[in-house]
A and B are shown apart, each in its own frame.
Chain A
Amino acid sequence: MASINYAFKEISCKIVYYGPGLSGKTTNLQYVHQKIPAQTRGELISLATDQDRTLYFDFLPVNIGRIHGFSTKFQLYTVPGQVYYNATRKLVLRGVDGLVFVADSQKSKMDENIESYQNLVENLSEYGYNLDKITLVFQYNKRDLSPINSVEEIQKILNPKDLPYFEAVAVKGIGVFDTLKCISKLVLDQAKRKQLFPQRELAVKELQKAETGVSVSPVPQSEQISVAVGSSGSFDISAGQITSTITEEKPRPVIEEIIPEAEKTKVEGSLEIKLKVGEITKEEKMKIEEPPPREGPTIISWSASKRSKPKGFFLWRIFKNLFH
């Protein structure tokens, strides 16, 4: 995930070029490396075989300079496209902020595109990422060759959701910068949004202030936080999507989603929480008086079971409403 360093005022995002073998991922990076001013980029590192096929990854750091005081950096990676190298390909995806799927437009390569796309979905899911939530753009490369599939055909098969796509001839540089510009903007917008509305911590903080006996603890190596309410059960929060762990026979409240109101109305510090027990859904709005807390790294350990009496706290109210 994006790394934000307040000490050095630096934001660093990871963009990965994915796609089948020989679709032009490395070519994209080589072109960027050639064309952008030397002071904005570092060396292009290629971990490749003797035949110049990517073995592990290519890496190109790009520093676009200070934006509002923050030095903004992108780390561009490619994956090895060959099916054989899945083990290393998967590793490159770790911590990815944005993806460019480079598809080969040639008719004969369509199956490989599909296979690679499915492989991407699988590899992401192994990290617990979901393609719906990750920034993705498509690049249909090799438009100068023939016979090629029409953009409509490729769209129908690879990109039914109509995410941004670019036609490209990477060897000549056509479409390379359009793609990069689009993905960098989307990735930074996303980082900014997450930064301003750290919904997970808001929820945690509120839950900590909750009824006595509520304890909140993060689950290591995942963004889930398990929240134990008294001895009655637990539910897990993960940003935006909440799953439940029911530890007793009786169904327990599950926070279904947390929508930071701020995102919709620009009024910071209010949260909308939807609780669900069996068939009953309960929506609750709450105001957070203090400014949202900062978003911290995942290495966090919370322990909150202060016996501070809540002032009509929502959780308690909802529990009461639902069970009495």
Chain B
Amino acid sequence: MKQEDFVIYEEEIEEIEKALRRLIKDAQAKCVLLVDKDGHLITRQGFTQSLDSTALAALLAGSFASTREIARLVGEPEFSVLFHQGKKDHIHITLVGERTILAVVFDDRTTIGMVRLYAREASVNLDRILTSGSQGDHPSEDEKRTGLDSEFSASLETRLDDIFSERS
């Protein structure tokens, strides 16, 4: 397998969320989402209630992946910024490090320039958090054990039986 599982810890999330909140404030955006390139939502901030973030995360990752292929075809390694302009709302998408994507949803209260400026800043900051976070020793071994211990399989089986039982 090419890549390891993507693991996020609490202290990282706190820092990430802080950075995202600052980005919303600075750029006056509506909401921001941090998504990994495989389409899993890492976290989100701002007015996201009305959004289906799971689907949005998968679609953002998909759109980023196809854009990257387009880049490759025209001889670019990667388009690091993507911008979708709508009538009211717009989305600005930036690459963060190697594995994550930062999407900023904003409207006409702010400008693309502002968003771009602060998104770039936030992207550097987030990359630092994600990279440095993975170096430190996390004292969450216990948590890890309780999370995925041997009883996990048994519980899983019951749950899968419940939900995926023959419903035909």
Contacts and interface: CB of A to CB of B under 8 A. Distances in A.
Interface residues of B, number: 63
Contacts of A164: none
B167 A35 contact: yes
A69 B164 contact: no
Interface stretch (B24-32, B82-90, B136-144): B136-144
Nearest to A61: B54
Given A36-B167, A173-B168, A297-B99, A1 B38 contact: yes
Contact of A299 (B14, B42, B130, B137): B130
Contact of A129 (B1, B7, B62): B1
B5 A70 contact: no
B167 A192 contact: no
Contact of A94 (B14, B37, B151, B168): B37
Interface in A76-90: 77, 87-88
- Which of B6, B12, B36, B135 has the most chain A CB within a 10 Å cutoff? B6
Given A1-B38, A299-B97, A68 B4 contact: no
Interface string B150-168: 0111011101110111111
Given A6-B9, A91-B62, A294 B135 contact: no
Given A95-B3, A174-B168, A299-B97, A14 B39 contact: yes
Interface string B1-20: 11111111110111000000
B163 A4 contact: no
B55 interface: yes
B82 to A, nearest CB: 15
A77 B59 CA distance: 11
Contact of A45 (B8, B55, B127): B55
B152 A67 contact: yes
A1 B6 contact: yes
A122 interface: no
A223 B4 contact: yes
B156 to A, nearest CB: 5
A38 to B, nearest CB: 12
A308 interface: no
A64 B160 contact: yes
B10 A181 contact: no
A45 B62 CA distance: 12
Interface of B: 1-10, 12-14, 36-40, 42-43, 52, 54-55, 58-59, 62, 65-66, 69, 97-99, 127, 130-131, 133-135, 137-138, 140-141, 143-144, 146-149, 151-153, 155-157, 159-161, 163-168
Q: Give 7 closest A-B pairs by Cβ, nearest first.
A: A95-B38, A7-B13, A173-B168, A296-B134, A128-B2, A3-B40, A91-B65
10 contacts: A43-B52, A68-B147, A91-B66, A181-B164, A188-B156, A189-B153, A195-B144, A195-B148, A239-B4, A298-B4
Given A2-B5, A173-B167, 4 more contacts: A1-B3, A42-B55, A73-B54, A185-B156
Interface of A: 1-9, 12, 14, 35-37, 40, 42-43, 45, 47, 56-57, 59, 61, 64-65, 67-70, 72-73, 75, 77, 87-88, 91-92, 94-95, 127-130, 133-134, 172-174, 176-178, 180-181, 184-185, 188-189, 191-192, 194-196, 200, 220-223, 239, 291, 293-302
